[in-house]
């Protein structure tokens, strides 16, 4: 059995966790503590990097202690310490990685520098004991990608956004119509009472042959619709949110359908192909339902980790570290590794034409 302490500080959650990976490759979460900084940033309507870094410094030691206590282990009982080394806000990454280096140096434990996106990509193996290969839809604040996952460290990007990430589109839409930070969950909440047919927002790239995503036009359409009927009533806000989510769900389903067909062609021998959704936006129930319907229609199994493990957390970082250790591909020289604000999961794939580089983790 491998036990790993994980640390996550790449954005606005400070998190620590201990996970175990058994001989047979299955995993369990021994502890998982997350401290959200929402209250620290809400007055500013978004994450302020300096405030985030300072809040990580203040909270991290205590959270690591809490994670070890809850798992009933000491540092001496873990095989390695895994910390997010990128991509993300550089101040937070420095705090997490340096803390992990100090803990590793003091305890003689091994250090593993983890790519945050790999944490999202492998979570479904922790929660659902999935085998490779599978298809991953990663939808977070900084990324919107379809990735072929063939093994630990073996990722091929099949599609990405050419402008905004989906989480960014949720957050900007929320801001446009006066909903508080964090935007995604508040748009979802407001949409519950709304009419998804009132506004005919565009379904970006629907029907296009290229595999990618685009969300900036949708955001502009929301702005124009909101300006046309300002000042907005609660009903207007609810209807805009519901119509926005309907457009997003339909655009996603169209884009992902292409990837499902491509996966079938590439892996005709995989009996039950799987689509996994991960990242903060994967917590959205409308999106989950749309993907479930899509998979039902295409003979795919749909796997969505529980919302708490879709949003940023340290269990996914500890798990990615454990998987790397188990696969024998943990970096030998992580103590020398510097944090990286940008760190693509698939470094081979060429940048996409039109792809902007915006957002905290773009």
Applying CB under 6 A, the residues found at the interface with ligand KG4 are 11, 140-142, 167, 170-171, 182-185, 188, 279-281, 283-284, 311-312, 361
Q: Measured in Å, how far apart are the chain's first and last C-alpha atoms?
A: 35
Q: Which is nearer to ligand KG4, 68 or 253 (CB)?
A: 253
Q: Which is nearer to ligand KG4, 147 or 311 (CB)?
A: 311
DSSP bridge pairs for 156 = 148
The DSSP secondary structure of 77-118, one letter per residue, reads G-SEEEEEEESS-HHHHHHHHHHHHHHHHHHT-EEEEEEHHH
CB of 275 to ligand KG4, least distance (A): 18
Q: Which is nearer to ligand KG4, 75 or 90 (CB)?
A: 90
> Are 360 and 141 spatial neighbours (Cβ–Cβ below 8 Å)?
yes
The 3-state DSSP composition of the chain as helix, strand, coil percent (nearest 5) reads 45, 20, 35
Identify the sign of the CA torsion 112, 320, 157, 340. negative
CB of 183 to ligand KG4, least distance (A): 5
Is residue 118 within the footprint of Zn ion (CB under 5 A)? no
Q: Which is nearer to ligand KG4, 142 or 204 (CB)?
A: 142
DSSP bridge pairs for 34 = 15
In sequence order, which ranges of 15-89 are alpha helices (DSSP H)?
38-41, 49-71
Whether the upstream peptide bond of residue 144 has omega within 30° of 0, thus cis, is no
* Residues from 132 through 171 that contact Zn ion (CB under 5 A): 140
Q: Which is nearer to ligand KG4, 92 or 133 (CB)?
A: 92
310-316-322 Cα angle (round to 5): 155
* Residues from 294 through 313 that contact Zn ion (CB under 5 A): 312
State the binding string over 310-339 for Zn ion (x if CB under 5 A, else -).
--x---------------------------
Q: Which is nearer to ligand KG4, 43 or 285 (CB)?
A: 285
184 binds, among Zn ion, ligand KG4, none (CB under 5 to 8 A by kind): ligand KG4
Q: Which is nearer to Zn ion, 87 or 273 (CB)?
A: 87
171 binds, among ligand KG4, Zn ion, none (CB under 5 to 8 A by kind): ligand KG4
Query: What does the alpha-carbon distance between residue 110 and residue 6 come to, in Å, rounded to a whole number?
Result: 12
339 binds, among Zn ion, ligand KG4, none (CB under 5 to 8 A by kind): none
Query: What does the alpha-carbon distance between residue 229 and residue 226 come to, in Å, rounded to a whole number?
Result: 6
CB of 302 to ligand KG4, least distance (A): 17
Is residue 188 within the footprint of Zn ion (CB under 5 A)? no
Is residue 115 within the footprint of Zn ion (CB under 5 A)? no
96 binds, among ligand KG4, Zn ion, none (CB under 5 to 8 A by kind): none
Helix (H/G/I), strand (E/B), else coil: 3: strand
Binding site for Zn ion (CB under 5 A): 140, 312
């Amino acid at each position: 059995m491998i036990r790993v302490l994980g640390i996550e500080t790449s954005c606005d959650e400070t998190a620590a966790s201990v996970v175990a990976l058994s001989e047979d490759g299955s995993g369990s979460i021994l502890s998982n503590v997350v401290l959200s900084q929402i209250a620290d940033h809400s007055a500013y309507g978004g994450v302020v990097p300096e405030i985030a870094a300072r809040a990580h410094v203040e909270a991290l030691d205590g959270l690591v202690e809490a994670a070890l206590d809850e798992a009933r282990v000491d540092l001496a009982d873990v095989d390695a310490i895994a910390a997010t080394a990128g991509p993300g806000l550089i101040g937070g990454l420095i705090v997490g990685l340096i803390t992990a280096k100090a803990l590793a140096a003091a305890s003689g434990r091994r250090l593993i520098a983890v790519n945050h996106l790999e944490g999202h990509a492998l979570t479904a193996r922790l929660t659902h004991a999935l085998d490779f290969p599978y298809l991953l839809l990663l939808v977070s604040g900084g990324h919107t990608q379809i990735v072929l996952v063939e093994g630990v460290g073996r990722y091929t990007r099949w599609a990405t956004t050419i402008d905004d990430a989906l989480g960014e589109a949720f957050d900007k839409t929320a801001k446009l119509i006066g909903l508080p930070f964090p935007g995604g969950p508040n748009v979802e909440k407001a949409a519950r009472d709304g009419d998804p047919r009132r506004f005919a927002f565009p379904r970006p790239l629907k029907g296009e042959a290229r595999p990618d995503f685009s969300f900036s036009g949708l955001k502009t359409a929301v702005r124009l619709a909101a300006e046309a009927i300002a000042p907005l009533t609660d009903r207007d806000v609810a209807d805009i949110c519901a119509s926005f989510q309907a457009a997003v769900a339909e655009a996603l389903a169209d884009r992902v359908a292409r990837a499902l067909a491509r996966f079938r062609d590439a892996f005709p021998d995989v009996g039950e192909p799987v689509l996994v959704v991960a990242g903060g936006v994967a917590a959205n129930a409308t999106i989950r339902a749309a993907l479930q319907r899509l998979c039902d229609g295409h003979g795919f199994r749909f796997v969505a980790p529980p919302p708490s493990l879709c949003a940023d957390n340290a269990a996914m970082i500890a798990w990615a570290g454990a998987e790397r250790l188990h696969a024998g591909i943990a970096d030998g020289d992580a103590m020398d590794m510097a944090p990286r604000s940008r760190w693509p999961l698939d470094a081979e794939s060429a940048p996409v034409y039109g792809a902007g580089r915006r957002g905290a983790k773009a």
